[in-house]
Amino acid sequence: MLSKFNNRIVIVCGHYGSGKTNVAVNLAKLAAAEGRAVTIADLDVVNPYFRTADNAEELRALGIRCIVPQFANTNVDIPSIPPEFLSVFDGTDFSVIDVGGDDGAIALSVYKEKFEKHGYDMLYIYNACRPLTTTVEEAEQSLRDIEAMARLDFSGIVNNTNLGEETTAETVEKGVAVCKALSQKTGIPFIGNTVLKTVKNVSTENVVYIDNATKQLF
């Protein structure tokens, strides 16, 4: 999947609960395993419970630079953008940006000009098992809403359809059809599928197997 990106800055967005953070963490780990210098930035100003900061210790042990909000993993829920976030634009690292669901994309709009100047890939992470995005029409509405709030355009669609540990090959396939139709309708490339390593017998093409790395509350 890394070979499909045209830029060193990759923005990971999607509807609430689509698994954005898990995809972002796994992308950072995959890039580090290939020997790249990697930064991951937590720009989730919406949900304090599922965020990249939960994986910071593990990621730093792999040599990945982590940029996390000041109040991450505390009982203070104040939306904030880390001041060192601007270093993403000045550096040369492969940088993964984990963005809060839907209206959390507003945080991106602040840096619209910088993203356009330095170049970016923005991924729409899709999970067919989440409410309000089960149909192509709903998914397109979510995608367009995020683009409008971010003032940036998506460059790729990733199927991350899952039900956690209950995911089966059939669960994954449920999202493939929607992503293909969504790609055809929007003109945004469907670049592949992220599938939990515990899932067996997945027959679809362009699969990247990932860990279930983020915090579980159930």
Give the residue extent of every domain in the chain: 2-210
Tell me what pLDDT residue 100 has.
Answer: 81
Residue 199's pLDDT band, with cuts at 50, 70 and 90, is very high
Write down the pTM of the prediction.
Answer: 0.92
**What percent of the chain lies above the pLDDT cut of 90?**
77
Element (H, E) at 172: helix 169-186
CB burial of 184-214 (b: ≥16 within 10 Å; e: otherwise) equals eebebebbbbbbbeebeebeeeebbebeebb
For residue 191, pLDDT over 50 is answered with yes
Whole-number average pLDDT of the chain: 90
User: Which DSSP symbol is given to 32?
Assistant: H
For residue 47, pLDDT over 80 is answered with no
For residue 215, pLDDT over 70 is answered with no
Mean pLDDT for 64-80 is 65
Mean pLDDT for 85-90 is 95
Tell me what pLDDT residue 218 has.
Answer: 32
Question: CATH homologous superfamily for 2-210?
Answer: P-loop containing nucleotide triphosphate hydrolases (3.40.50.300)
Dihedral sign from CA coordinates of 79, 84, 90, 91: negative
What are the tokens at 23?
Answer: 């995809």
Least confident span in 61-65, 97-101, 121-125, 185-189: 97-101
